[in-house]
Amino acid sequence: MKKFIAVVLSVLLLTALLAGCSGSSSGTSSSSGTSGSTNTGTSNSSKPIELTMMYNGTATDPTLGLVESIVDDFNANNTVNAKLTLQAYENEQYKTKLTTLMAANSVPDIFFTWELDYLRPFVEAGKVYEIGKLLNADQAWKDSFQSGVFDPVTYNGKIYAVPHAKSICVMFYNKKIFKDNNLTVPTTYEEFLKTCQTLKDKGVTPIALSAPDAWIPAQLVQQVADGIGGMKIYNGLFDGSVKWNDPAYIEAGKEVQDMVNKGYFPDGFLGMKSANATQLFKDGKTAMYFMGCWDISTVTDKATSSIVDDVGAFALPAKDPQYNNILVGSIDQSLAISANSKNPEAAAAFIKLFGSQKYQEEFLYKTGRLPTTKIDIDKTKVSPVTADVLDISSKVVGLTPWMDRAFGAGEGVEFNNKCQAIVGGKDPASEFNALQKFAETNASK
C-alpha cells in the first residue's frame, strides 16, 4: 500500500497539481456553492446540532480568519440545523492535542489532518469516519475534485478525509534585496550557493531558518536530497530498494550542514522559534525563506510584513540538473470526521461548504492556497508571489511528501530528528546510519 501511494503521488497527484494550476477547468460541480446547498442531512429537532472542529492555525495566520468566516457562514446559512464551534491550535500543540484526544476517544466532530501515515494509525484504530460513503452518495460533490487528490487519504480502498489544498515547498525571496545586490533567481544549484555566499559577503543573512521544530530543517534536507537522487530514492524507501542511509541522503545532510557552517542561516537559528525566523524574512532581514507555499498568506500579510510587494518564489534547483522540479509537496488542508461523531452528515455539510467553489477561490486569491477542486483560475486575481508558485507548480515533474506524513511517527519523525541533529553539528553519515538501524529494528517488531 505504501508503495502504491508513493507511485500515485508522483503520477496522479502530480497530474492534479498540473491541472489545478493551468488556469482552466474541466468543469465546476453544481454542488459547489454556499452552505445553503450542503444538504447532506437534516434534523427535525428545533434545537441545533452542536458540532465542534479542531483546526491547525494561529491568530497570526490569515488563513485562520478565512476559516472563521466559513464557520460563520455555515452557522448562519446551513440547512442541516447545526451550529459549529471552532478550536484552533498552533502546529506542534495541535499534533499533541489531537493524539491525546484520539487516545481518549474525545476527538471533535471535525478535525484537520495530514495524509498518508500520519492519518493511517487513527484510521486503523477505528477513530475516523469513512467520509467516502457520503462522497460516493453525492457524485457531483466527489466529481468536483481533481483526479488523484483523494489517494493519499484512501486506506484499503476507502476515503477518510477531504483535502482542500495542495502545497509544494518553495524558496521565497526578497526581490528588492536581490536587485540591490545585482542578483537574479538562480537556475542551478551552483548559482544558488553562489547567491548565498554573495549575500553573506555583503552582510545579508541569506536564508531564514529555525531548527527547534525538527520538520523545518528536515524539509530542506529532503529537498536537497530530491535534487541529488530524484524520485527513485524516495520511492525506494517504500519497496526496500533504498535505505535511509543512502548516499543521496548523507550527501544532502552534508550539503545543508555546509550551509550552516558557512553562516547562511540566522545567528541563533538552532534555538529560534519558527515564527521569529519567518518574521526575519518579513522584516527584510534575510533574503530568502524556504517553506511550504501555505505561507504565502503569512509573508504577504500587510499587518505584519514590510516586504509584501517584494516577495517572489522559485524552486530550489537540483544539484543534479536531471532532477530539477522534483519538489517536496503533497495535498494539504484535509478535514476528517471523528468516528464518534453523532452527526457525521451534518459535519460533512460543513466540509462540503469548506471546499465549495466560493471558498476554494477565496483560499487561492486571498491566501495563495492551491485548490484541489476543478475551478477556473483567474490569474489577474492572484498576488505576484502566488503567480510565481502557480508557474513553479506547472513545471513540477515529481512530488515527495514530507517524511513525517509518508512514514508517520516512526521513521518519518525520526528522519526529522536526525536532520535536526545534522544542522546542529552531528555527522550526517552517523545520523542516517542510526536511522537505518532504527528502521530495521522497527520492522522486526
Q: Looking at the predicted structure, is the pLDDT value of residue 144 above 70?
A: yes
Q: Quick one: which of 72, 23, 38 has its CA closest to 355?
A: 38
Give, for 441, the enclosing helix (H) or strand (E): helix 428-443
Whether residue 154 is found in the same domain as residue 188:
no
Cα–Cα separations (whole angstroms), residue 167 to 20, 108, 296, 429? 12, 25, 11, 30
CB neighbour class for 379 (10 Å; exposed up to 12, middle 13-18, buried from 19): exposed
Q: Are residues 279 and 199 in the same domain?
A: yes
pLDDT at 46: 80
pLDDT value, residue 43: 45
Tell me what the mean pLDDT of segment 265-273 comes to.
98
Which tens digit of pLDDT belongs to each residue from 63-74? Answer: 999 999 999 999
pLDDT digits (tens, 9 = 90+) for 319-349: 999 999 999 999 999 999 999 999 999 999 9
Can you tell me which residue has the cell 517584494? 310
Is the same domain home to 354 and 309?
no
* Number of domains the chain is built from: 2
Q: Is residue 425 part of a domain?
A: yes
**Has residue 427 been placed in a domain?**
yes
16 pLDDT tier (thresholds 50, 70, 90): low
In contact, 419 and 234? CB cutoff 8 Å:
no
Within-domain flag for 8: no
pLDDT at residue number 5: 47
Q: Is 332 left (phi over 0), alpha (psi -120 to 50) or beta?
A: beta
- Both 434 and 287 in a single domain? yes
Same-domain check for residues 358 and 260: no
Tell me if 19 is assigned to some domain: no
Are residues 179 and 211 both part of a single domain?
yes
| Spatial separation of the C-alpha atoms in residues 179 and 279, rounded to whole Å | 21
Number of H-type helices and E-type strands within the chain: 18, 11
- Confidence category of residue 444, pLDDT binned at 50, 70, 90: confident
In this structure, the answer to whether residues 259 and 351 fall within a common structural domain is no
Q: What are the φ/ψ torsions at residue 285 (nearest 5 degrees)?
A: -100, -5
Answer yes or no: is pLDDT of 35 > 50. Answer: no
CA atoms within 13 A on the CB side of 191: 12
* Domain coverage including residue 239: 167-329+387-442
Is residue 7 assigned to a domain?
no
Q: What are phi and psi of 172, to 5 degrees?
A: -70, 145
- CATH of residue 88's domain is 3.40.190.10
How is residue 316 annotated by DSSP? P
Specify the pLDDT at position 159.
98
Helix residue ranges, H only, 81-171: 91-103, 116-124, 132-137, 139-143
In this structure, of 44-53, 98-107, 132-141, 385-394, the range with the lowest mean pLDDT score is 44-53
The model's confidence at residue 170, banded by pLDDT at 50, 70 and 90, is very high
Q: Tell me what pLDDT residue 202 has.
A: 97
Whether residue 353 is predicted with pLDDT greater than 90 in this model: the reply is yes
> What pLDDT score was predicted for residue 28?
32
Do 263 and 279 share a domain, yes or no?
A: yes
The total number of residues written for the chain in this structure: 445
Categorize the per-residue pLDDT at 61 as very low, low, confident or very high, splitting at 50, 70 and 90: confident
Strands 49-56 and 205-208: unpaired
Handedness of CA 293, 157, 148, 145 (dihedral sign): negative
What's the pLDDT tens digit per position in 392-420? 999 999 999 999 999 999 999 999 999 99
